[in-house]
Amino acid sequence: MPLDLTGITNHHEYYSQHYLLALFEGDLQELLARWDAAAAEHPDSESHRPPPLQLRGLAASYFRLLNRLPRLRDSAARLTEQQAWLSELLLAVGYSFM
């Protein structure tokens, strides 16, 4: 199955079209296989879902946050809400929030 490149823009032709069409998917196969293996080993664990699925799962909470922020008058409360969501985002892409 060919790789879906939706959302990937080749800005100023940084990569050649040949690379994106013929080689990019091969370069990602090992990483995608590791994500699939981790998800298969831990089917009930949110932390082992592939990052694209984790990011997709954050969409609803992101829009709830955007809706809630204008109503928060206290800057500390706004910061706390933003930090909570950003920590989820960073975890989804493999980083920790300090």
Domain boundaries, the chain: 1-48, 50-98
Asked if residues 67 and 52 have their Cβ atoms less than 8 Å apart, the reply is no
Q: How much is the pTM?
A: 0.65
Please give the DSSP secondary-structure letter assigned to residue 7.
T
User: According to the model, what pLDDT value does residue 67 have?
Assistant: 95
pLDDT tens for each residue of the chain, 98 residues long:
577 777 777 888 888 888 887 888 888 888 888 888 888 887 776 667 788 888 888 999 999 999 999 999 999 999 999 999 999 999 888 888 77
pLDDT for residue 46:
64
Q: How far is CA 28 from CA 5, 35, 47, 64, in A?
A: 12, 11, 20, 33
Helix axes 75-92, 59-68, angle to 10 degrees: 170
Q: Cα separations (Å) of 9 from 23, 44, 54, 70, 74?
A: 16, 33, 22, 32, 38
pLDDT score recorded for residue 82: 96
